[in-house]
Amino acid sequence: MAGQRLSVTRRSVLRGAIAAGAMAGAVAAGAARPTSARAAAGRRVAVLGGGVAGLTAAHELAERGFEVTLYERRALGGKARSILVPGSGKDGRPELWGEHGFRFFPGFYRHIPDTMRRIPFAGNANGVWDNLVAASEVRFSRKGTDDTIIPMGKAGKPWSSPDTFRETVGSAITTSTNMGTSDALYFANRLLVFNTSCDARRNGQWDGVPWRDYVGAGKRSNEFRMLLSRTLTTLLVAAKDDKASTRTIGNMGEQFLGNPLETGNDGPLDRLLNGATNEAWIDPWVNRLRELGVTFVNAEIRGLELDGARISGARVVDSTGAAQTVEADHFVSALPVEVARTLWTPEILSLRPELAGMSQLTVDWMSGIQFFLRRRTDIARGHVAYVDSPWSLTSIAQGQFWNRTPVTGLGDGSIQDCLSVDISDWNTPGILYGKPAKECTHEEIARETWAQLGAHLNDRGELLSQDDLHSWFLDTGIAWDASQKRNTNADPLLINTAGSLALRPYSHADSLQNLYLAGDYVRTNVDLATMEGASESARAAVNKLLEVTGSDAPRCQVFTLYRAPELEPFRQLDIARYASGQPNMFDA
């Protein structure tokens, strides 16, 4: 049945929002809308998708006077949202909070903190940004051997030359791990090679090389392979080290290890929120957008319609099942890559043929499970990486950080802590059932994850007790298909595999005039599937929209990653070396 064509105006979006109702208690009609005269001036924007990219685009556009309607089919915040544990609240207490995965805000993030400062929060001088708190250490937990606890924060000494760079990084690795000096200095030199590589080499050579090959892990010690090859990649991008792009991992290494004094950072290197993500960030953000006039509609995007070189409408289905075609002057696609690429018709691809490469981009799983405990844990004052775990687990004990919404005040009153765990490898068999997480029931996932945690933490004394386990909650995006005996995942993660840069599009092309792309798959400076990448891409999309419309509004601020100025002369020399086919001068 043909859908009804609607124009994105104040009356129609309000009517659509009322018909759709609230989305997870969050998506409903917005505040007062801009005038129809402004809408007639080509300032109507439909934002498709309500994750971090979509919310960022809506925020930046609304601040610049555009009439914005945002369409989201599930819940605002996307992968960043919190998820209430249904039925967990007792005797008037709020329900427990689950998460898709614990939130992590490195100090080199600049776009997300900039937005946070513009989201009012009662009692906070700097808005939501003041809800960020620092984690003081990270623990690398090993099965059957001593764990390593590394202080987080400014460390090391300033360096002024390639030689002192190698010495500083190598010494930091040697003193904080069980790695020998030879391996540590070798890795420091590999990081130096990357840090002194020009952009053309990073994009043209290193993007096509898997991280394991780049660092020569096959010829190094087991400690080297586990920490600097396997764990580093699974922690950052949930990818295997033989698949992950050296460009992506090298960029992150440049921030974490190549900048020991945290020069140019927004704050401490490791930060978390002081409460559940929705309460500390997402809900205040949505409220701010409503104040700015953004309207939210609960609807799923089913397709785009083309008229010449312009998108003329977006086909949507609302929560009642009614089909509509939404009209706007501009469309910002802020959908995840696995959804966005289903919208590219042959006609759209004829205008933007580079979008066809998106079908080759890889997505995999990285999802969270929370264990609610009757006793406070004392594992680490920060993140824990379970180095030998088959499922590449990482965790954070949230109780020590949640002073705004204490875990102790939630649920049935007996909860003292929440151990939030990310499962980064869903394809490797576990230790209990001999099956990968994708093939385990939810109960098996919980038991297997708990067993892998215990195998690491209880090998030198009991840090996790079965008696302390109250309950658990698995990310609702993971759904068990009994007929197939495996799970599905509604929220997979983009993996920056070797050679994938060429497959990732820019936010806009003149050949398709009024479509703008925002999402962590879009080419960005941060080059990682993160909230930060989503925010940066949304800002780039809005800046292109401002350019296309001839707007004199100030452009969105876009930040670049830190690069040591001491190494810039070597990067300049590397331009000619790469162009002539020579290796980087330190690539011995």
Q: What is the pLDDT of residue 14?
A: 33
Mean local confidence (pLDDT), 155-173 = 83
**Statement: residue 443 has pLDDT above 80:** yes
**Statement: residue 347 has pLDDT above 90:** yes
Q: What is the pLDDT of residue 459?
A: 86
**Which of 29-43, 73-87, 294-308 is the least confident region?**
29-43
Q: What is the pLDDT of residue 241?
A: 86
Q: What is the pLDDT of residue 41?
A: 62
Local confidence band at 101 (pLDDT 50, 70, 90 cut-offs): confident
The pTM of the full predicted model, rounded to 2 decimals, is 0.92
In angstroms, the CA 324 to CA 322 distance is 7
**Statement: residue 547 has pLDDT above 90:** yes
Beta strands in 224-361 (DSSP E): 271-273, 295-307, 310-318, 323-327, 330-333
Local confidence band at 237 (pLDDT 50, 70, 90 cut-offs): low
AA identity, residue 139: R
**Statement: residue 55 has pLDDT above 90:** yes
**Statement: residue 27 has pLDDT above 60:** no
In angstroms, the CA 271 to CA 531 distance is 14
CB 436 within 8 A of CB 427: yes
Q: Quick one: tokens of 494?
A: 């983009």
**Statement: residue 157 has pLDDT above 60:** yes
Largest CA distance in the chain: 72
Mean local confidence (pLDDT), 331-346 = 98
Mean local confidence (pLDDT), 66-91 = 96
Higher pLDDT, 451 or 150: 451
Nearest 10 degrees: Cα torsion 537, 508, 36, 550: 100
Q: What is the pLDDT of residue 156?
A: 62
In angstroms, the CA 281 to CA 165 distance is 38
Local confidence band at 234 (pLDDT 50, 70, 90 cut-offs): confident
Mean local confidence (pLDDT), 119-147 = 93
Higher pLDDT, 78 or 3: 78
Express each pLDDT in 252-296 by its tens digit.
989 988 888 888 999 999 999 999 999 999 999 999 999 999 999
Q: Beta strands 323-327 and 310-318: pairing type?
A: antiparallel
Q: What is the pLDDT of residue 36?
A: 35
Mean local confidence (pLDDT), 347-361 = 98
Express each pLDDT in 61-71 by its tens digit.
999 999 999 99
Other C-beta atoms within 10 Å of 304: how many?
21
Mean pLDDT of the chain: 90
Q: What is the pLDDT of residue 168?
A: 86
Local confidence band at 528 (pLDDT 50, 70, 90 cut-offs): confident
CB 239 within 8 A of CB 366: no
Q: What is the pLDDT of residue 414?
A: 97
CB 127 within 8 A of CB 121: yes
Higher pLDDT, 388 or 344: 344
**Statement: residue 542 has pLDDT above 60:** yes
**Statement: residue 410 has pLDDT above 50:** yes
Mean local confidence (pLDDT), 314-321 = 94
Mapped onto helix, strand or coil, the DSSP state of residue 254 is helix
Three-state SS sequence of 447-483: HHHHHHHHHHHCECECCCCHHHEEEEEECCCEEEECC
Dihedral sign computed on CA atoms, order 172, 178, 182, 188? negative
Q: What is the pLDDT of residue 366?
A: 93
Q: What is the pLDDT of residue 54?
A: 98
